[in-house]
A and B are shown apart, each in its own frame.
Chain A
Amino acid sequence: MSSGLFTAVACALRRDLTLAARKPADVATPLVFFAIVVSLFPLGVSPEPAILRGLGPGVLWVAALLATLLSLNRLFSADYADGSLELLVLSPQPLAVLAAAKTLAHWLTTGLPLILLSPVLAVQLYLPEAAYGTLLLALLLGTPVLSLIGAVGAALTLGLRGGGVLLSLLVLPLYTPILIFGAGAVTAAASGFSPEAHLSLLGAFLVVALAFVPWATAAALRISLD
């Protein structure tokens, strides 16, 4: 049975990754959005390096949050529209594990590219060199939590009117701790302090979210498909 579970997870993951690979524009849009939002801040606030250096960590994190949020719709809505989500719910494998696999696929196609793109944008914001490692590490720990929490919101708002805006209303308040410690870690590293406390908390969030949130996502999917 456990081999069956493993196969199911691998299939779900491969299917979502293949779908993403066939429609590269869907993957690229949140990334372009990420880059544009970051570029708006120098235009709107000030191109002064000193100011941008202070704003940088927060701007990068807020933009990453919003980009993740934009991509959440993609997580279940296409499967919901063509009915394959119902088959996933009906499958004999535990739904929480399958939801976790889909969330992982979402992170691989959204969170990971965001992380890879972030150093380039950090250059634009004059982030001190010492903070780059911390930025990558904090995003590496934080973005999976964004995908996990976002998955619950996406599952709850499946097929609802005004789903996108509603989703942001549900999910953004829950994102605040990640934003605080993610941006905090980078700020600490940029000002020469140890980001260890922030990173430890981000890691703790990730572990707790990994353990519990897939079950909440599964429950939300069941409620929405009932």
Chain B
Amino acid sequence: MFDFLHKYASPRNFYDFAGILIPWLAGVTVVLLAIGLYQGLFLAPPDYQQGQSVRIMFIHVPAAWMSMFVYMVLAGAGAVGLIWHLKLAEMTAAAAAPIGASFTFLALVTGSLWGKPMWGTWWAWDARLTSELILLFLYLGFMALQAAIDDPKRAARAGALLALIGVVNIPVIHFSVQWWNTLHQPASVSSIAKIGAPAIHPSLLWPLLIMAIAFTVFFAVVLLMRLRAEILHRERYTHWVAERIKS
């Protein structure tokens, strides 16, 4: 186990390993996206209330899930980097942040596009929307901090600490926003059929799950690509990078 970790946690071996992995995972992403999108956009029945626009769900919900999942990856990698000084983990946190921010942004935009025909408004101060927006700000804060620090070591450690504080705060923020919302106005908008509603029909559930897996694998592909670029950048003065670049 530790031999394995030792072998692949070194940036050089990981670079090669990721290079092999990326085409395979990219293929899986394309296949899953094709199946999921076909099922979601053509086979799934239109909603009796929402009509065709319910199909936004197949992008919106996986993006929202990923926005939270990626923050967990970011904080987990940050913690590993902080505790064991694993270079690869530090790079993972830095590489994951922009992807997570993009997923969060995508969730907000698709939610807004979905909200306009359904709720008649681009934006509502609903609990979920608000906590997603704050999550975006947390991502942007993390990225701004990373960008402001020149020393990669300090950037990684400061970012990891911030991510950990953020992780502790996310549930607090989420529940605060939820209670704030219920205290101020009746939860009229959040009761529209989302995944939390009971009994989502299998014809909708399957494409949704396939899309969720497709998004996850897509995240893995982009993360590995960004990691490879990051490894090359950080190790740009080493011998092995010069060899790889030449060949």
Of A70-78, A122-130, A170-178, the one touching chain B = A170-178
Cβ–Cβ contact B157 & A223, under 8 A = yes
Nearest residue, chain B, Cβ from A213? B165
A161 within 8 A of B: yes
Cα-based distance from A184 to B153 in the complex (angstroms):
41
Cβ–Cβ contact B145 & A157, under 8 A = yes
In the bound complex, residues from chain B placing their C-beta under 8 Å from that of A184 are 180, 183
Q: A160-B149, A180-B180 are in contact. Are A172 and B158 (CB under 8 A)?
A: no
B144-171 residues at the A interface, CB under 8 angstroms: 144-145, 148-149, 153-154, 157-158, 161-162, 164-166, 169
Cβ–Cβ contact B161 & A156, under 8 A = yes
Q: A176-B173, A177-B173 are in contact. Are A223 and B154 (CB under 8 A)?
A: yes
Cβ–Cβ contact B161 & A166, under 8 A = no
Nearest residue, chain A, Cβ from B180? A180
Nearest residue, chain B, Cβ from A153? B162
B138 within 8 A of A: yes
Cα-based distance from A162 to B180 in the complex (angstroms):
33
Q: A162-B148, A170-B162, A223-B157 are in contact. Are A177 and B176 (CB under 8 A)?
A: yes
A121 within 8 A of B: no
Cα-based distance from A172 to B137 in the complex (angstroms):
9
In the bound complex, residues from chain B placing their C-beta under 8 Å from that of A220 are 158, 161
Interface residue tally of chain B, by bracket? 20 to 34
Cα-based distance from A216 to B180 in the complex (angstroms):
27
Nearest chain A CB to B67's CB is how many angstroms away? Answer: 14
A116 within 8 A of B: no
Cα-based distance from A160 to B134 in the complex (angstroms):
24
Residues 151-189 of A, flagged 1 when their CB comes within 8 A of B and 0 if not, give 010001100111100100110111011001100100010
Cβ–Cβ contact A223 & B161, under 8 A = yes
A224 within 8 A of B: yes
A9 within 8 A of B: no
A85 within 8 A of B: no
Nearest residue, chain B, Cβ from A172? B137
B140 within 8 A of A: yes
Cα-based distance from A216 to B158 in the complex (angstroms):
11
A-B contact list, 28 entries, CB within 8 Å: A152-B161, A156-B158, A160-B148, A160-B149, A169-B140, A170-B141, A170-B145, A170-B162, A173-B134, A173-B141, A174-B173, A176-B134, A177-B169, A177-B176, A180-B176, A180-B177, A180-B179, A184-B180, A184-B183, A201-B176, A205-B172, A216-B164, A220-B158, A220-B161, A223-B161, A224-B158, A226-B154, A226-B157
A residues adjacent to B (C-beta < 8 A): 152, 156-157, 160-163, 166, 169-170, 172-174, 176-177, 180-181, 184, 188, 201, 205, 216, 219-220, 223-224, 226
